[in-house]
Structures are given as C-alpha cells and as structure tokens.
Amino acid sequence: MTELQTMICALADRYPDRRSALLPALHLVQRLDGGYISDNRLAEIAALLKMPVSTVFGVRSYYTMYNRAPVGKWHLQVDTNIPAMLAGAESIVAHLEKKLGIAVGQTTPDGLFTLSTVEDLASCGTCPVIQVNERYYENMTPAKTDKLLASLKKGTMPEWEVETHWASTCNILLRRRGTPGAREIATYKADGGYSALAKALTMTPGEILTEVKNSGVRGRGGAGFPMGLKWSFLAKNTGKPTYLVCNADEGEPGTFKDRQIMEFDPHLLIEGMAISGYAIEARTGFIYIRGEFAWIAEILETAIAEARKEGLIGPNAFGNGKDFEIIVHLGAGAYVCGEETALIESIEGKRGNPRLKPPFPAGVGLYGSPTIVNNVETLANVPYIIEHGADEYRRIGANNNFGPKIFGVSGHVQRPGVYEYPLGTTLETIIEAAGGVVGRLKAVIVGGLSVPSLTAEEASGLVLNYDECLKRGTMLGSGGIIVMNDTTRIPEIALRAIRFYAHESCGQCTPCRQGSHSIEALLTRIVAGKGSLADIDKVLDLCQTIKGTTLCPTGEAFATPIGTFVTKFRPEFEALVSC
C-alpha cells in the first residue's frame, strides 16, 4: 500500500461510515498532487472507500474547491462578492491582471500563478482578500499585493498581521478576543473555561435540556429557532446513535461571525459542543467547517487534541464509560451546504443536495440516525447558560430575544468588523460602534445577503432582534450587516447578488436552477443598458414565482432580496432601460 493509500485509509477509520472520508480524501489528493485532482486518481479513491467511481466523479465535479485541471504553484483567488465589491476588490483583480499579464482563469507561462475570482470567503470585514492556496491575505491594497507577489516569486508565503476591528459589551462570545494565547487550553481554563462542562456533568441530560429551554436561546445560524425546542424533537429509543453536528459552513455573504469564535477562542466552541453532546446523549460530534477555512480547521484540531489530552473529550469523557469525540470535517465550496440536510449529505460523502423534509434530522439525520445541527455561535452560548443559569442569561437582551449576538459589519463604514451586543440593540448603535457610515446611508442589509434590504428611512430606529426585524419587513438572519452609501448603484448590487446565487444553486430544483440564471440574464441586460421595462417586470414576476417552490431556502434566499432591490429602487433600474 502506498503512503497516499495509507493516509486515505486512516481518514476513513475516523468515521462511523468510511464513505464519509471522500471529501477529506479528495482534499488530500489535491494537496499532494500539486493543486488538482486528475481523473486517474478517482478509481483509486473509489476502491479504497468502497464506492462506485461515478460517485467520486460526481462529488469532485460538484464542489467548487476541487480543481480538475492543473493550477499554478500559487493559486490566487480573489473574493469579489458584495462586501468585497464595496471594499474595492475589483481594483485588486485589475491590478493582478496587469502585474501578472494574465486574465482571470489563466495561468502565467512559467506556471507560478493562476488567477481566479471566487465567491464570499467570510472575510467581509477585512476585504479585499486574496486566498493564496489555503492561506488568506486580508485588507489588501495594490501596494500590499505587490509585496505579496514579490515574496511568492521568491517561493515564500509572507507573514503579516491583519488589522481587525471588534468590540464587545457582553464579554461572552468575544470575551477572550485579544487575549494572548487565547487559543490555548491553559489560557481558557485560567479564565474559567471548562467549569461549565464540569457543572454540566453533575446534572442530568434532562436538567440541561430544561435549562437551555428556559434560557430562551434561539439559533444564531439564521432561522432563530429555539435551541431547546429543537433538542426536544430528538427521536428516542431508536436503537441508533445520536449525533451532534456543528454547522460552521458560514457561506452567507456578509457573515463572518463564526470564524471569530473558532479562530480566536476554539475551546469555547468545544466546551459548548461537549455540554450539548452530553445533554442529547451523543457520543460523536462533527464540526462541518467550510473548506476555505483550512487553517481554522487546524486550530480546531489542535484545541481538540488539547481537550482530549486532559480527558475533557474522548474516551470516558462523560464518565461511566460514555465517550464523546469531535471530528472536524472540511467542506469543499458549496453555499447550499449551509442548509442542514445538504450538510449531512456532504458529511456522508455525497453531493450537497438538500433532502426532502420531513423526515427532519432530529428523527432521521446523519447516517439515518437522530441528529441535532446547531450553529457555531449557538453552541458557544451554552457554557454561559449552564455556568450562570437561564435566569441570568435572560437578563441579556429582550423578551423572546435573549442573549448576546455577534454582528458582522461590512461595507461603507469606518471600522468594518465584529461587534458583540445584546439582542435588541439598535442598528444605529452597532453602526456607530463600527465608526459610522462613510458618506450618507442609502441602504442596509441586516441579516446577510438573503434577507430583504432596507432603505435608510426604513432602517431608522431599527431594533436588531428577530421579532422587530420581521415587523420592518426584513429578518435578523445571521446578523451580517452590509452598509451601502449613496455612491452605491443598486442594479449592480442586484446583479452581483444573483450571480452568486446562480453560481451556488445545487441544480436539484428547477425554479432555483433555471430561475436564478434567467434573472441573471435579465439583470445583465438591464445593467448593460440593453433591457426594457418588460425585463424589469419579468424579474419581479420570476422572484414571486420562485418563492416557496424549492426544497431548501436557496430559492427564497435570492427571490426575496432581488425582488426587494427592484421594488424599492425601481427608478434606478428604469433609468438604465430604453423603453
């Protein structure tokens, strides 16, 4: 057996089903084979994982991070999504094309550089960003780009610090942000870390469930569904294991909160998962993390190893022979895998196509077993709830909207970054913390790209919680706030948004697959000055038709905001058409 084959088999041994090792195996082959996966490798992987070659082929073709042709030694990938667009990413792309003498999608004749543009990299507060192989270079300028290229030409990936902005009035989720050694277990424990887990292990699983229910904590991934209620839906006495899955995919444009926890305070997530695993009587937890976060996955693996060494997870972690293990599973570039059933399919080594619901994961989830899927930020709330109690937790925030929330602010503000405030804080307060608007506010998205935008007038006085946002005709979603000033051309924003969704549609549902591309074609024509008033009406008609017709929320995720852009800023679209 070759070294590669041995490594793939070792990956397979980590999982309850060896087919789950398919994505990690493809990542491994791409890394070892110089940045791409040749057709010749597919049969080898299929044989080792005991699956058809067609399955391996289908998975490789589905995920955007897998390259099917050779790339340069240094693969430069520039995020051009809306937050990056507002931060000037297009000028960085143009600068790279000029300096390298190639266009996007090409490789330099010497094989050193391949230039690509990519979708949102969850670096919204530190755009423009260039991903070089598996490494991010953030807050890029033309001068910094020249410095980066010079170093890469010498064969070295340079090290430099990235200036980031953050603040917290709650000191719960960002409590250790800025603390030296915050990733290390010694630092975490010295600050009271893992005391909540110790307390949890003196309680029964039912008592923890009651405490979480009483806290009123709602899911922070976007839907705002009560965490305790979700746990209570778990199927009982099935004879199958229960699984806990942490959704760390974070692919929603405008959203970059979860990486703050994983990158700078990984043990907070691990402790939250351990308590949650004990509460739902799971013996295995998965962190499904987006593939672009490879370096954060390494941080998590190191922290997990530290926790395992101290007996906090691993064999007999919960006592009485009850184990709890955490597996970090890298995705490979698919926005749809932020949806819980698509995520589960991906862990199982499949294309990330959402499942028909019901059945819901709490009954039939990962490997056909009862499964709870919670977001990173949601799980990170659990230690505080158990340590301090539900009543203390409910002192933070407002009725039916309790606890702290990380808001990621990007776009036209002085200090793009992350800000931890209680739910129920006003939008003005968050924007003020981010240094205020650059120029005059025109529009704002408060919950990630998939929620309806608000005009400056509509946003005035907005209270940022789930209920108040709904009353204003939008949603809190992930808390990803994208600020747009009066220099922003809304038709161009709408076109960039639909290009993202057309690119990310899994293709399973016709309204999403065809509808997204049809809207993209119409908006492309309108923005180019070749459209008509009828084209504008067709966009609105398609948006209305698509709503509620897809298996997962992706159809709604683009139909709603695109329809809102056109409706609220229609004069801008009409100014671009001839008749």
d(CA 225, CA 264): 26
Average pLDDT along the chain: 96
Q: Which pTM was predicted?
A: 0.96
With cut-offs at 50, 70 and 90, classify the pLDDT of residue 161.
confident
Tokens of residue 69, six digits:
């042709």
CA distances from 244 to 85, 327, 333, 434, 495 (A): 36, 10, 22, 35, 38
**Residue pLDDT, tens place only, 61-88:** 999 999 999 999 999 999 999 999 999 9
Is a pLDDT exceeding 80 seen at residue 48? yes
Mean local confidence (pLDDT), 211-238: 94
> What is the percent of the chain where pLDDT is above 70?
100
Q: What confidence tier does 319 reach under pLDDT thresholds 50, 70, 90?
A: confident
Tens-place pLDDT, residues 165-210: 999 999 999 999 999 999 999 999 999 999 999 999 999 999 999 9
Q: Is the dihedral of CA 199, 200, 203, 207 positive or negative?
A: positive
pLDDT in tens, 402-434: 999 999 999 999 999 999 999 999 999 999 999
**Which has the higher per-residue pLDDT, 269 or 320?**
269
Question: Which residues, other chains included, contact 291 with Cβ-Cβ below 8 Å and sequence gap of 6+?
Answer: 23, 27, 63, 65, 330, 331, 332, 333
Kindly state the tokens that stand for 28.
């491994």
Sign of the torsion formed by the C-alpha atoms of 163, 165, 171 and 173: negative
Asked if pLDDT for residue 326 goes beyond 90, the answer is: yes
Q: Which residue has the tokens 């399955």?
A: 55
- pLDDT tens-digit readout, 497-517: 999 999 999 999 999 999 999
pLDDT tier for residue 11 given thresholds of 50, 70 and 90: very high
> How far lies 437's CA from each of 129, 251, 418, in Å?
21, 25, 15
Q: Is 395 exposed, middle or buried (0-12, 13-18, 19+ CB in 10 A)?
A: exposed
Instruction: State pLDDT tens for residues 518-545.
Output: 999 999 999 999 999 999 999 999 999 9
* pLDDT of 579 higher than 80: no
pLDDT, residue 394, reads 97
Inform me whether the pLDDT recorded for 395 exceeds 90: yes
Residues 441-451 have a mean pLDDT of 97
Residue 211: which of 154, 278, 156, 266 has the closest Cα?
A: 278
